[in-house]
Chain A
Amino acid sequence: DADVTQTPRNRITKTGKRIMLECSQTKGHDRMYWYRQDPGLGLRLIYYSFDVKDINKGEISDGYSVSRQAQAKFSLSLESAIPNQTALYFCATALSGDTGELFFGEGSRLTVL
């Protein structure tokens, strides 16, 4: 089983719908991140969390919210999806005191029609 698991892997939805992307990890890491990938733009940070009680906005948090339900679970929500949120979303984890290496899930491809 993968150490960082994202669900769903693919989702097609309509404008205005609420969407939740879920991430769970078995690595025991305290830090979790949500990134968005668009062609030619690399990965951009949406939100990050250093522990269950810590949530921080990244560079492109508008239109998104997150919940850290447990150390191992970090969910990303789109309250009212819009077409320009069509992208590939990655969850990543890291360990405090380590080198900064990120461990990624396989990605969740979201299409908003």
Chain B
Amino acid sequence: AQSVTQLDSHVSVSEGTPVLLRCNYSSSYSPSLFWYVQHPNKGLQLLLKYTSAATLVKGINGFEAEFKKSETSFHLTKPSAHMSDAAEYFCVVSSYNTNAGKSTFGDGTTLTVKP
């Protein structure tokens, strides 16, 4: 069984300030973890992924996330928000390396960036 909890449904930051989007997961297997971004009226795009290699993962557009097994967390961060970062973000846990091969999505966090 697996699940993912995004701890904030909405996050609002000012342009140029840090971004933190929080994600906790549970998994019966060694998980793969992902962050996807969805801009309005668009499909989902991969930001970054953790697949049991380095625990600090760097993604596109300056985002990064750290896999912390002891805390079962995979929080997404960015040092300085840009207006174009305003979007919805999804944390995903996957049992891909099992026969189940399914992904479970968090409910999403809407990021607002104020000028």
Q: Contact residues of A with B, CB < 8 Å?
A: 4, 31, 35, 40-45, 48, 50, 58, 90, 94, 96, 98-102, 104-107
Contact = CB atoms under 8 A, between A and B. Distances in A.
The 6 closest A-B pairs by CB, nearest first: A100-B96, A100-B94, A42-B105, A104-B43, A43-B105, A100-B32
Contacts of B108: 40, 42
Task: Classify the interface of chain A: helix, strand, loop or mixed.
Answer: loop
A45 B102 contact: yes
B101 interface: yes
Contacts of A31: 101
Contact of A101 (B9, B43, B49): B49
13 contacts: A4-B43, A40-B108, A42-B107, A45-B102, A48-B102, A50-B101, A99-B49, A99-B51, A100-B51, A100-B96, A100-B97, A102-B36, A106-B43
A42 B106 contact: yes
A40 B43 contact: no
Given A31-B101, A100-B94, A102-B36, 10 more contacts: A4-B43, A43-B105, A90-B43, A90-B44, A100-B51, A100-B103, A102-B34, A102-B46, A106-B42, A107-B43
Nearest to A102: B103
A40 B9 contact: yes
A48 B102 CA distance: 9
Contacts of B42: 106-107
Max count, chain B CB within 10 A of own CB: residue among A43, A50, A94: A43
Contacts of A44: 105
